[in-house]
Each structure stands twice: as C-alpha cells, then as structure tokens.
C-alpha cells in the first residue's frame, strides 16, 4: 500500500503510485536532503542516492571511498583499483594456504590447492620422467609398427638416403633419422640453382635467372644497360678455410669475364658477419673480388 505524500491518495503498489505522481503532480518538485537535487518522486531517489550514508562504499583493501561527492551514479564495485583487488585476493589466498607433505621427497611445503601433491622441486622431475617414458613407449610402438592400434594413423616410408624402411605418424617426414635428414638437406642445397644454396627467402627473376636480392637485380640491370658482360652460375665456386680449419665453399654472385672480376653485394650486417670469410677467400684463391654496398660496387664499376 502506497500513500501519496501530496494529496493523501492510496494506491495498491508502487507502479500505480509512480504513475500518479508523474502525471498528477509532475509540476511539484521535492528536494533531496542528501544531494540537494529536486525530483518528483523523492522516496525513490533517496533510497538510491549516492550520497546517502547507507549507499556510501569504501574499498576493502585501502579504505578509500569509492564514490565522490560529484557523482550521482550508484557503483557496485568493491575495490577502487585493480591493484587493490589483486592485493586483497593474494592476501586472502595466503591466509587460505596449508602445509602439505610432498609424496616424493617427504618435505613439507605450502600449498594453496588441495590437489597439489608435489613440491616445486619435485614437480619438474615428475613431469620430465613421465614425458620421457611416454616418448620411449611411442618410439617402441613406432618401431614395431603397432602405433596404429592406438587410433593413430601411421605411414610407411623408405628413407631416400640409407634406403631403410621406417614407420612414422607424420606423412611429411621422409627420412628415418636426423643424420639422414641433414644429408638430404645437403644434397638439396647442392642441387639448388641459386648461388648461395638458400631456399628460404624471396627470389627475383631477371631474364630467366634467379637473383637472391633486389640489390643483385639492380646491379644486373645496370650492367646490361652499360653493355658489361656478366655470368651468374653455381659452377663458379672457391674453397676457403674457416677459423676451425674446416674447408668451406664460397659462391660469388657475379663474374665479369672481360675484367676477370667477381662481385658480391652485401649490407652492413653481412659485411660485419662475413668479413673474415671474404678476406680469407681473396687470400686463399688470389682473386679480384668487389664486395660491399650496392652503391659502392656501382661506383667501382663506373671507374673501370
């Protein structure tokens, strides 16, 4: 039962009473004793007023008031910032911790979860041991060819290096071991028509010849424009010795037969990385080699 505080009329519920005040007494305004604002239905506002002492809230962590005096919107949060929420939750989490005994080493450790049965020292050992046993069983099933019995499809292949029959669950794998895989990569690199033997970068094609970089393409176009004969072939190769005394191959990018000159454009990073290699190639083979930035090479070619 609702009674209008203006005309004294009674109503069955609050919905009818609010409609009565809205249409019959909409010109009459009442001032809120908490915030000072005027409303037609004052009783509905006072219960939700933000400055009402019953609605004022404080942060659980730092005690700061959540709502300022200029705000008229009710807030339902419990903390003023995310950091306060994190600090409060971590503090309560530590209070809820308990002392457990590790099932491996028997030492006591602090746990925040009931299902944690191992300390932080023994847990990685358990994980590595289980993973090692799983991999060992998996390799054994692969060798016996019974991995398909565990609802895993397997593929039978023949290694192109050693000719051995092997079973693997991945159809992309073409070799039986890592050593054979390295030998296969070596053969693929040897048969690669590119000078450097690399296949993992963008290639540029010019007059049916693949270039390894845009600098090489620009140099080739410039030499054709100035009627300079050049050759780019993987058959042109020089041996050089690295720091460990191992012999390695070096493939120059261009060979100018009229000048008996070799070109190798490189950026600043590669110049620092391959400085020893380039000097060793020149010292071991006694060749004329121009290397460096594209502009430096073109300047030297113009001076020939």
Can you tell me the distance from the alpha carbon of 51 to that of 47, in angstroms, rounded to the nearest whole number?
Answer: 10
Q: Which SS3 state, helix, strand or coil, does residue 44 take?
A: helix
Phi, psi of 61 (to 5 degrees): -90, -55
- Say how far residue 43 (Cα) sits from the centre of its chain: 56
Can you tell me the distance from the alpha carbon of 65 to that of 248, in angstroms, rounded to the nearest whole number?
Answer: 74
Both tokens of 240, joined, read 């050089």
Contact, 135 vs 119, CB < 8 A?
no
pLDDT at 130: 59
- Say how far residue 296 (Cα) sits from the centre of its chain: 38
DSSP 228: -
pLDDT at 70: 47
Could you tell me whether strands 261-265 and 289-292 are parallel, antiparallel, or unpaired per DSSP bridges? parallel
* pLDDT digit string (tens) for the chain, length 304 residues: 778 777 878 888 877 877 877 777 665 667 777 777 776 656 666 666 767 777 777 888 888 877 654 445 456 677 888 888 888 877 766 555 677 777 677 788 777 655 566 677 776 666 666 566 666 666 666 666 555 445 566 788 899 999 988 887 778 888 988 899 988 888 877 666 554 545 445 678 888 888 888 899 999 999 999 999 999 988 899 999 988 888 899 999 999 999 999 999 998 888 998 999 999 999 999 999 999 999 999 999 988 7
Phi, psi of 38 (to 5 degrees): -105, 135
Can you tell me the distance from the alpha carbon of 1 to that of 13, in angstroms, rounded to the nearest whole number?
Answer: 6
Both tokens of 176, joined, read 């039986």
pTM of the model: 0.39
Rg value, the chain, Cα: 41
Q: Which SS3 state, helix, strand or coil, does residue 67 take?
A: coil
Side-chain-facing half-sphere of 235: CA atoms under 13 Å: 2
CA distances from 3 to 20, 47, 186, 286 (A): 11, 17, 95, 111
DSSP 273: H
Could you tell me whether strands 38-39 and 98-101 are parallel, antiparallel, or unpaired per DSSP bridges? unpaired
- Convert 197-209 to b/e letters by CB count within 10 Å (16 or more is b): beeeeeeeeeeee
């Amino acid at each position: 039962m609702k009674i209008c505080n203006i005309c004294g009329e009674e109503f069955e519920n609050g919905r009818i009473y609010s409609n009565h005040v809205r249409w019959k007494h909409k010109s009459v305004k009442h001032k809120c004793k908490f915030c000072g604002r005027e409303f037609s239905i004052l009783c509905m506002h006072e219960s939700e007023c933000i400055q009402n002492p019953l609605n004022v809230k404080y942060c659980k962590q730092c005690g700061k008031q959540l709502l300022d005096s200029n705000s008229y919107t009710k807030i339902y949060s419990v903390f003023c910032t995310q950091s306060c929420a994190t600090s409060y939750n971590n503090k309560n989490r530590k209070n809820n911790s308990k002392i457990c005994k590790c099932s491996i080493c028997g030492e006591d450790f602090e746990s925040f979860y009931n299902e944690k049965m191992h300390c932080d020292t023994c847990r990685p050992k358990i994980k590595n041991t289980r993973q090692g046993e799983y991999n060992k069983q998996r390799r054994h099933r692969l060798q016996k060819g019974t991995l398909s019995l565990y609802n895993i499809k397997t593929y039978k292949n023949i290694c192109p290096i050693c000719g051995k029959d092997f079973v693997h669950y991945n159809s992309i794998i073409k070799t039986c071991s890592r050593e054979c895989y390295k030998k296969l990569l070596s053969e693929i690199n040897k048969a690669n028509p590119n000078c450097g033997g690399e296949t993992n970068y963008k290639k540029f094609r010019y007059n049916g010849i693949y270039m390894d970089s845009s600098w090489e393409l620009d140099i080739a176009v410039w030499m054709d424009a100035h009627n300079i004969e050049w050759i780019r072939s993987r058959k042109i190769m020089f041996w050089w010795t690295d720091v460990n005394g191992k012999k390695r191959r070096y493939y120059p990018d261009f060979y100018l037969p009229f000048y008996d000159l070799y070109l190798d454009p490189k950026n600043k990073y590669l110049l620092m990385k391959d400085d020893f290699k380039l000097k060793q190639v020149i010292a071991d083979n006694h060749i004329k080699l121009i290397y460096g930035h594209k502009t430096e090479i073109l300047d030297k070619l113009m001076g020939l």
